[in-house]
Amino acid sequence: MATIRDMMPAFELYQPAGIDDVLALLKRHGKDAWVMAGGMDSLDWFKDRVKRPKVVVDLSQVKGLKGIRAQANGAEIGAMTTLTEVINHPLIQSRYGLLAHAARRVASPQIRNQGTLGGNVSQDTRCWYYRDGMPCYRAGGNICYADTPTAMNREHCLYEADRCVAVSPSDTAPALIALDAKFVIRSAKGERLVDADEFFIGPSVDITRMTVLKPGDLLTAIRIPNTWAGARFYFEKVADRQVWDFPLVNVASAMRVENGVIKQARIVVSGVAPRPLRLKAVEDSVRGERLSEETAELAGKTAIWGAKPLNHNHFKIPLMKNLVRRAIRGA
């Protein structure tokens, strides 16, 4: 008989109005505290009674975490800025359209109105074994239920499996890595900047986390430099459904092209590894090459080197190959 989960477990709810108050609460409660942004991922965990925090710190009243601001060398987006605002903001549309495009492919309009950019990049993996409360490696157990002969692993990874084969589910993450964004993280110890490429971590680093955020840390903003402003962008997501669904594979690219020659490129895929995967070998293979069908074909073949499919996700290899090809061609 299926487990009936009809109510959330009890927790203390705090709704601070300032960043300093948030940091004080996180320092006081440590591992017992759960930071909630838009609540789209958090409430699922609570309703399923899989995550049972003693304290929930709701960020919805912290105005200092919201808004998009132009800076001398780029733009800063508050972590609590909704995805809808990111999509519609003139600065993002005109200079960093890759992010607007990626944010537009997240879930549904209703969720984008509530979900935040910070929440989207910080969400946990969607592996149903893990999210159903099974004692897998990521949950502190000693098995990966998705990596067995009879497992349902159609949505799982091709690369960087290390005990866990779950993938990163974020649509905005590959776009931010392609844009060379920086993540602003604060704690009681101060503030630090982390490159988007280093914000996301795989199970070989820490199997219990998807990002560098630890208890006491707060993602406050994301800064996008002017480095790739106005570049040639491409974003595409393939999912089973056009609305709501998480990516089977997605790709984000930013390229600088002069006289038909690719001078610089950043290409990132998600849905194929435990973290968004920057394809540095592909970037190297196309740099200095003409923007052509032959270059796109080379990029696609290079992208799938080293792929190790599971029982039911072999289809992701040609899918990823073709998405990378289109990323080059479509730019």
Has residue 293 got a pLDDT over 80?
yes
In a domain, 145, yes or no: no
Structural domains in the chain (count) = 1
In a domain, 181, yes or no: no
Residue-number span of the structural domain to which 42 is assigned: 12-61
Q: What does the pLDDT read at residue 2?
A: 47
Tell me the pTM: 0.97
- For residues 179 and 254, the answer to whether their CB atoms sit within 8 Å is yes
Has residue 243 got a pLDDT over 90?
no
Q: Among 135, 126, 106, 115, which Cα is nearest to 168's? A: 126
Over residues 231-243, the mean pLDDT reads 95
Over residues 229-250, the mean pLDDT reads 95
- At residue 244 the predicted structure's pLDDT band, cuts being 50, 70 and 90, is confident
Q: Are strands 12-14 and 55-58 parallel, antiparallel or unpaired?
A: parallel
In a domain, 47, yes or no: yes
Average pLDDT, the chain: 96
In a domain, 28, yes or no: yes
Has residue 225 got a pLDDT over 50?
yes
How many percent of the chain have pLDDT more than 70?
98
The Cα–Cα gap between 171 and 276 comes to 9
> Can you give the chain as a three-state secondary structure string?
CCCCCCCCCCCEEECCCCHHHHHHHHHHHHHHEEEECCCCCHHHHHHCCCCCCCEEEECCCCHHHCCEEEECCEEEEECCCEHHHHHHCHHHHHHCHHHHHHHHCCCCHHHHHHCEHHHHHHCCCCCHHHHCCCCCCCCCCCCCCCCCCCCCCCCCCCCCCECECCCCCCCHHHHHHHCCCEEEEEECCEEEEEEHHHHECCCCCCCCCCECCCCCCEEEEEEEEHHHCCCEEEEEEECCCCCCCCCCEEEEEEEEEECCEEEEEEEEEECCCCCCEECHHHHHHHCCCECCHHHHHHHHHHHCCCCCCCCCCCCHHHHHHHHHHHHHHHC
- At residue 4 the predicted structure's pLDDT band, cuts being 50, 70 and 90, is low
Domain CATH number, residue 37? 3.30.43.10
Q: What does the pLDDT read at residue 1?
A: 40
Give the least confident one: 5-14, 186-195, 288-297.
5-14
In a domain, 1, yes or no: no
Has residue 49 got a pLDDT over 60?
yes
In a domain, 41, yes or no: yes
pLDDT digits (tens, 9 = 90+) for 106-157: 999 999 999 999 999 999 999 999 999 999 999 999 999 999 999 999 999 9
In a domain, 265, yes or no: no
Over residues 242-270, the mean pLDDT reads 96
- For residues 298 and 286, the answer to whether their CB atoms sit within 8 Å is yes
Q: Among 37, 43, 83, 39, which Cα is nearest to 61's? A: 37
Q: Among 328, 101, 289, 330, which Cα is nearest to 303's? A: 328
In a domain, 52, yes or no: yes
Q: What does the pLDDT read at residue 6?
A: 61
pLDDT digits (tens, 9 = 90+) for 174-221: 999 999 999 999 999 999 999 999 999 999 999 999 999 999 999 999
